[in-house]
Chains A and B, each alone.
Chain A
Amino acid sequence: MLLPVFASLTLLVPPAPKYPADAIAPALRENAHAVVRAFDKVVTVKSAGQLVETVHRVVTVLDEAGSDDYGREVVYYDALNRINYLHGAVYDAQGNLLHQLRPAEVHDQGLGSAGGSLMTDVRVRYADLRQPATPYTVEFDYEVTSANTLFYPDWQPQHDENVSLEGATLQVTTPTALPLRFEEQLLPAGAASPPVVAGSQTTYRWRLPAAPAVEEEPLAPALSALLPAVHLAPATFEVQGYAGSLASWQSLGQWVYELGKGRDVLPPALTAKMAQLLVTSPDPRERARKVYEFLQGSTRYVSVQLGLGGWQTSPATSVATGGYGDCKALSNYTCALLKAAGLPAYVALVGAGADHADVRTGFPSSQFNHAILCLPLAGHGTTPADTVWLECTSQTEAFGYMGSFTGNRHALLLTPEGGRLVATPRYGAQANRQQRRTDLWLDPSGGAKATVRTQRLGLAQDRYAQLLHEADPEEQKKYVSNHLRLSHFTVTSLRLAPAPGPALPGVVEVMGLELASMGTAAGRRLLLEPNVLGRLGALPNQVGARQAPLALPPAALYQDTVRLHVPTGFQVENLPAPAQFTTAYGTYSSTCTALPDGTLQYVRQLETRRPGGGTLPAAKYGEYRDFRRKISQADNAQVVLVKTDA
């Protein structure tokens, strides 16, 4: 009788605690909301067309701020990526098991539609193990089988601020016949082990030691570019029967080009319509512009991404009939239209987005998320040869303009001979210009009415162009109101209109303002800061020593002229002294003068520069901050008016 009782007692002995929170080194708790205890990734390449990724992730959540990001796990999957399992467990601070994730607690959800996406097969599975009491530790294990070997997993165990790392490993096993390509990013010495060959397989291993939490700093590159990582890519791969090689940009481009081959056939009527342009518009640039206008007037961006459709364009005929497509389909379609108009062009892949890191050029791999078009133009008459870049998903973008979304980076041209990495256009300070003229009528109580005309060109107009084309007047007014650095005002009128410069798109904004307390009454005096709208915000103070490199915004030119109409009965008592200074980061000047007609004219100009290609060592931050501080001070220049005794 006793035996079964003992047997059940032995079963009741709790398992040994795992990952107790007090085992975490004090240095790893500093500034940390969570500690990655382990991040072990095993990638097994099964064949050119299949790989298996296994992840074991253990995180101790130290406080509530780390809970939402690290107490949950989200795993994406789609038609080409299958989740084999998702397991989880959560432990208390002492490392005792609190709960084992049950399959019924794993949620499955479609991604829905966002940003013009009509349909995608990407879905998520997610599990929530957040706990009411911190610290606690979650452990997640999952495995994904991928039939999309164009992409190999990346490994970056630490990628957020305020999260420290205790240790992490990466192991990749691949048939020796399918060699692994990898790029190490900022790895500490000794992180990599030499590859081990066993039979027909080769195994690569990396290990990261403990690392303290880091913090994001203003004007710094993304943390993902500042923390250790290993990027992986195949040498050869196969997706849905399409084999390719990543030996070079040429071979990647070749593969994508072949995928789209034969999909550029247009309906005959459309071909004829385009061919007609050869007659009506002999100038190639003009002809290209006509084709682009036709595209913008008759199509729109709608994305349907299913299976291989994420990489293969849908045929030009489908765009011709439906009038919509995704970036690949619209670029392919435009390429076909241009070809029919006697203008051979190339589809190009690009990593789009204002914050998207540029391509790591030394590591050919699929680093792109968007397609655009590149059109080399031969010289015509006195016009020299040129290259025109086209964004085919926008119905409003200016012909040939590559703004903050796709400009100033590398793109992969897809040519019949394969891929070629080329630079997209970059615009300098003179191109990115904001010119403003403000007329300010002050009344004796400090109130004012103002009319403001602002012209923005190049990158300075990107947001305003979007506002002009996509927002209604009410939304435009809201946006503009929310971005004025003024305490109380009424926008009495606002009009946005296209105002292109000779080579670049532009938007002009004409605004009427009522400023109820523009000037400050102080006894008989009226004080006011004539730099009504052009103030540049100050940089946040640096706490501790600057760690990250300094990433400067694009070079730009800001010009402000303010004409101040002094109320009758007042005269100028004091004008601010002129300011003028030049540093490596730019040139600033401001003057305030009394004009013969009794008005005051304030003129401010700031031209920012981008020395060193825009990224400078951390030590330069102090110098740059001083530059900004001087600007802030000068921007606050004050005019004092005084009531005349009459």
Chain B
Amino acid sequence: MSYLLRFYRLGWLGWLLVMGAELAGASAAAAQTLAPPKPAPVPIRFGQPEPADFEAKNFVADSTAPAVVLCDYGVSQFSSSAGKLTINTERTTRIKILKKAGYDYATVEVPLYHREEDAETLSNLRGFTYVRGADGKITKTKLESSAAFEEKRTNNLKVRKFTLPAVQEGAVIEYSYVVRSTFFDNYQDWTFQREIPTRWSEYRTSIPQVYHYKVLYQGYGALTVNEMNTGSVSLILTNRLSEGAGAGAGMEVGTTGLTMSTEQHRWVLQNAPAFREEPYSTTPNDYLPRITFELVGYQFPNEPYKDLTDSWAQKNKVLLANEFFGQALAECKFVRPLAQALVAQHPDPAARAAAVRELIMKNVKYDGTNRYHASGSLKKSYELHRGTAADVNLLLIAALREAGLAVVPVLLSTRRHGRVSQEYPLLEQFNYVVALVELPDQKELLLDATEPLLPAGVLPTHCLNKIGHTVPASGEGRWVSLVPAQRYTHYQEVTLALDAEGNLSGQVREEHSGYANLEAREKLQQLGEKKYVAELAATHMGWEIPSFTFNQQANVGQPLGLSYELRLPAASTGTATELYIKPLETFAEQRNPFQHELRTYPVDMGMMQQEVIRVTLKVPAGYTAELPKPAALLLPDGGGRYAYSASSPTPGTVVLMSRLTLDKPVYSAQEYHALREFYRQMLAKQAEALVIKKAG
């Protein structure tokens, strides 16, 4: 949950909503008028654990879990607190602790955000630990207030934490609290699954139809229950003078009572297994079943409906009017002289765009924070030489414009921030902005200035999250693919000579391009040349690298090259009539990256790949080599291919070619098995020994 990306504050221009009774009373009142269907029973009664929760036989199927969520129940509804309207979310959670490794689930942290006068507060914290003794009696230990703390983590975030007492294996813990929030534009979301199994997770909402939220569900399976109906609440509304009333704005001018209908939802997911994070994935949030809400509009009595999000056009308009986005861009005139100096120098628009990017990178360092709106004045960031992704890239956009280039901002969500839904025009799903330069020849260039190790037009790895959306000066904008044309490409050209003792020596020339270039350059930057090569030698058994040179180190636009001399002494001494060597294996990937048999969600690499190894081997005089058979492997559905060949262009010389091409940035869970098997067969082929025999 992030409350930081909010631009509009809801103005209580006409009415302030004050709810009379608490919801129980309210729905009773509603029953009189609207007669909604009989409400579903509450799934958990605080303070009354089920006897079945203490029977070991009920947890046999959970033998691998350290703990099990028996019930997680949330009810979120509108209420009033000291005359102020709030959203109250009451959460009651009951957990069975099965093993000592599950003790951590008895410690709970609740993040509470606050910003300006809006805040979340926690109240009504209660908790118990239940343990069944040998005599069958259940002891109940209360959570004391001395076991709850509040930490002021950052300026916008407090964390309430508590730990339940007397926890032991077999115990059932239970806690309940209410979070009151005045962030109406961020209705409390709900996640149905976590890293331990969850027997029952239920979320209920009741929203007066003053507020219109879009409800978004994501998940790989269907919910057990998904119900909606209408109810009503009795409300007392305080009349206030609108802003148009001048000095009297906001003044209370009496109250009005009325009955208002509510939209009520009930969602349940039963028996969710434990969730696990896998390699080559974006963020768990992309794979967990979740309900989120987006405020799309509100309508106060006797007022027209106020639409907040009806179109991208409107979203873009809001964004462009915002002081931390559109206005911040407009206030970047100070870059004009710098940018215009580049116009004369670089008549070619693509070269000019790259030069502008260089200018920004030289002057502003990305501090690692991802945002799509500026942290403050862009001029200040420029003077500080430091800023967030938004500070850096909004400066880039402004400077590109000043350099006479057609450019639109593109909003995106980084991989760790999660997927973007194209269904609704939601701004808060984004956390990053880059520049889209429209070149005269219909070509487009995506530019980012946070990573100096990348050339212009290649986005950093964390941006490779499928799609982004443009923010044009007017109109809807459009979706832009973020799938890079550049691959992760690694090329190795190996020339080795074998002697009759089995020693290998020769030269290796390797090149990293595309995203392999970035990876190698990052490593080189961190380690320096000497350690880079030492590490290369250390990860290969028996390698000795007496000399090396790096190429194109200063030019990030060119593949990083490394040429080195290599010696590979034989495992045993003495000459042999037959030599078995595996010249390819040592240069190839040493392990199958897909170690685990099963995968439930996609393998998301973000980019395509290519790995080429060409080995030219000179065999000792008087020896001949048996050439291995060629091989060609294909992934289904054009997903990729592997080719292997061996040839002897001249007597005494063997050439081995190995070429891996992966043509998809993302492989579905269904393709996982094929991908794993493909790698296995490739590794086996690369590990094949060459038999070299003494002639005669």
Q: Which residues of chain B have C-beta atoms less than 8 A from A622's C-beta?
A: none
Asked if A118 and B528 sit within 8 Å, CB to CB, the answer is no
Question: B580 touching A395 by the CB < 8 A rule?
Answer: no
User: Given the complex of chains A and B, what is the CA–CA distance between A105 and B385 in angstroms?
Assistant: 13
Can you list 5 residue pairs at the A/B interface with Cβ under 8 Å?
A: A132-B362, A133-B363, A300-B100, A541-B538, A633-B571
A547: shortest Cβ distance to chain B, in Å? Answer: 14
In the assembled complex, which residues on chain B have CB atoms less than 8 Å from the CB atom of A541?
Answer: 534, 537-538, 544
A488 touches B161 (CB 8 A): no
> Does B163 sit within 8 A of A, measured CB to CB?
yes
Q: A118-B163, A523-B626 are in contact. Are A516 and B384 (CB under 8 A)?
A: no
- CB pair B165–A322 under 8 Å, yes or no, is yes
Q: Are A132 and B159 in contact (CB under 8 A)?
A: no
Whether A112 and B167, one on each chain, are in contact in the complex, defined by CB atoms closer than 8 angstroms, is no
Confirm or deny: B123 has a beta carbon within 8 angstroms of a beta carbon on chain A: no
User: A322–B142 Cα gap in the complex (Å)?
Assistant: 9
Q: Which of B26-34, B635-643, B646-654, B682-690 contacts A (4 or more CB under 8 A)?
A: B682-690
Interface-facing stretch out of A283-291, A331-339, A464-472, A496-504: A464-472
- Which residues on the A side are within 8 Å of B541 (C-beta)? 538, 632, 636
Contact B161 A297 (CB under 8 A): no
| Contact call A118/B149, Cβ cutoff below 8 A | yes
What is the bound-complex CA distance between A522 and B689, given in angstroms? 6
Instruction: Say yes or no: A520 contacts B165, CB within 8 Å.
Output: no
Known: A132-B452, A162-B528, A472-B274. 11 other contacts (CB 8 A): A65-B528, A128-B386, A132-B363, A321-B166, A396-B100, A487-B683, A487-B687, A522-B688, A541-B538, A632-B541, A632-B542
The stretch that binds A, out of B244-252, B465-473, B592-600, is: B592-600
Partner of B580, one of A300, A474, A527: A527
Residue in contact with B385 in the complex, picked from A99, A324, A523, A633, CB distance below 8 Å: A99
B153–A109 touching, CB < 8 Å = yes
What B residues does A107 contact at CB under 8 A? 154
Contact yes or no, B153 A324, CB < 8 A: no
- List A contacts of B683 (CB < 8 A): 487-488, 517
Are A323 and B167 in contact, with the CB atoms below 8 A? yes
Contact mask for chain B residues 512-552; partner A; CB cutoff 8 A; 1 contact, 0 none = 00000000000001111011001101100110100000000
Please determine whether B386 and A520 come into contact, CB atoms closer than 8 angstroms: no
Asked whether B168 is an interface residue with its Cβ less than 8 Å from the other chain, the reply is yes
With a CB–CB cut-off of 8 A, which chain A residues contact B571? 633, 636-638
Choose from A129, A215, A474 the contact partner of B64 (Cβ within 8 Å).
A474
Contact A132 B168, beta carbon cutoff 8 Å:
no
Interface size for A (C-beta < 8 A) is 69
Q: Does B169 contact A (CB under 8 A)?
A: yes
Top-4 shortest CB links A-B: A540-B538, A132-B365, A517-B684, A323-B166
Cβ proximity bits B149-172 to A, threshold 8 Å, 1 near / 0 not? 101111100010101011111000
Near B by CB (< 8 A), chain A positions 526-550 give 527, 538, 540-541, 543
* Chain A positions 94-146 with a Cβ under 8 Å from a chain B Cβ: 98-99, 105, 107-110, 112-113, 116, 118-119, 128-133
A540 touches B276 (CB 8 A): no
Of B66, B141, B386, which is within 8 A of A472 by CB?
B66
Give the residues in chain B near A33, CB-CB below 8 Å.
528
Q: Closest A-chain residue to B545, C-beta based?
A: A541
- A454-481 at interface with B (beta carbon < 8 Å): 469-474, 477-478, 481
On chain B, the residues within 8 Å of A113 by CB distance are 107, 109, 161
Which residues of A lie under 8 Å from residue B216 when comparing CB positions? none
Interface flag for A64 (CB, 8 Å): yes
Q: Mark A604-646, 1 if CB is under 8 A from B, else 0.
A: 0000000000000000000000000000110011101000000
Bound complex: CA A222 to CA B590 (Å): 31
- Tell yes or no: A224 within 8 A of B by CB: no
Instruction: State A527–B154 Cα separation when bound (angstroms).
Output: 61
With A322-B165, A478-B596, A540-B537 as contacts: A520 and B689 at CB distance below 8 Å:
yes
Residues of B within 8 A of A640 (CB): 580
A194-221 with Cβ < 8 A to chain B:
215
Report Cα–Cα, A300/B582, bound state, in Å.
Answer: 53
The answer to whether B526 and A110 touch across the interface, beta carbons within 8 angstroms, is: no
CB distance from B68 to the nearest CB of A (A): 12
Asked if A583 is at the interface of the complex by the 8 Å CB criterion, the answer is no
List residues of chain A with CB within 8 A of the CB of B222. none
Given the complex, which residues of A lie within 8 Å of B530, measured CB to CB? 31, 543
B680 close to A (CB within 8 Å): yes
A469/B525 in contact, CB under 8 A: no
User: Of A105, A110, A522, which one neighbours B159 at CB under 8 angstroms?
Assistant: A110
CB distance from A446 to the nearest CB of B (A): 8
Structural contact, B65 and A472, CB atoms closer than 8 A: yes
Also in contact, A323 and B365, with CB within 8 A (given A488-B591, A520-B688, A521-B688): no
- Give the Cβ gap from A302 to chain B, nearest Cβ, in Å: 5
Contact with B along A60-99 (1 / 0, CB 8 A): 0001110000000000000000000000000000000011
Q: How far is the CA of A225 from the CA of B392 in the complex (A)?
A: 42
A540 in contact with B592 (CB, 8 Å): no
Question: Closest chain B residue to A128 by CB distance?
Answer: B367
B168, A130: Cβ atoms closer than 8 Å: no
B386 contacts which of A64, A131, A300 (Cβ < 8 Å)? A131
Segment 370-395 of B: residues with Cβ below 8 Å from A: 383-386
A482 located at the interface, meaning its Cβ lies under 8 Å from any Cβ of chain B in the complex: yes
Is residue A281 contacting chain B, with contact meaning CB distance below 8 A? no
List of A residues within 8 angstroms of B101 by Cβ = 469-472
Smallest CB-CB separation from A632: which chain B residue?
A: B541
Tell whether A361 is near chain B: CB-to-CB under 8 Å.
no
Contact flags (1/0) for B656-696 with A, using CB distance below 8 Å? 00000000000000000000000110011001111100000
Residues of B within 8 A of A632 (CB): 541-542
Residues of A within 8 A of B689 (CB): 520, 522, 527
Q: Which residue of B lies closest to A447 (CB)?
A: B684
Please tell me if the beta carbons of A482 and B595 are within 8 angstroms of each other in the complex. Answer: yes
Question: How far is B572's CA from A640's CA once the two chains are assembled, in angstroms?
Answer: 15
Q: Once the chains are docked, how many angstroms separate the CA of A33 from the CA of B103? A: 43
Closest to B278 in A: A478
Contact at B361–A132, with CB atoms within 8 Å? yes
- Report yes or no: A487 in contact with B153, Cβ–Cβ below 8 A: no
Known: A488-B592, A488-B683. A119 touches B365 (CB 8 A): no
Give the distance to chain B from A35, nearest Cβ to Cβ, in Å: 15
Q: Which residue of B lies closest to A538 (CB)?
A: B541
